[in-house]
């Protein structure tokens, strides 16, 4: 039979290890959310730029650009 002190030590070590892993996973999840937000902004900007190009080329049925939340509601200009 395993002494109670060894069992408590094993449980304490397991809890500490799982706590550290949880903190690492939370950090990684936050990093991934930020990366997805940047990707969303980039995709929205590219889509808006393409829509503006289509509209300026005379494609009257091209959808209107949608502002990016990161741009403060401004539609990007194509030069």
Residues 6+ apart with CB under 8 A from 78: 49, 52, 53, 56
> In whole angstroms, what is the distance from residue 61 CA to residue 1 CA?
78
Q: What's the confidence (pLDDT) of residue 76? A: 54
The per-residue pLDDT for range 8-55, each reduced to its tens digit, is 999 999 999 999 999 999 999 999 999 999 999 999 999 999 999 988
CB 41 within 8 A of CB 70: yes
Q: What's the confidence (pLDDT) of residue 35? A: 97
DSSP 67: -
pLDDT-derived band of residue 65, with 50, 70 and 90 as boundaries?
A: low
First to last CA, the chain: 77
């Amino acid at each position: 039979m395993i002494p109670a002190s060894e069992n408590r030590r094993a449980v304490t070590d397991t809890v500490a290890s799982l706590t550290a892993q949880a903190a690492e996973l939370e950090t990684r999840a936050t990093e991934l959310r930020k990366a997805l937000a940047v990707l969303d902004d980039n995709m929205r900007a590219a889509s808006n730029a393409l829509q503006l190009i289509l509209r300026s080329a005379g494609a009257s049925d091209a959808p209107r650009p949608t502002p990016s939340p990161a741009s403060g509601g401004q539609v990007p200009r194509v030069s």
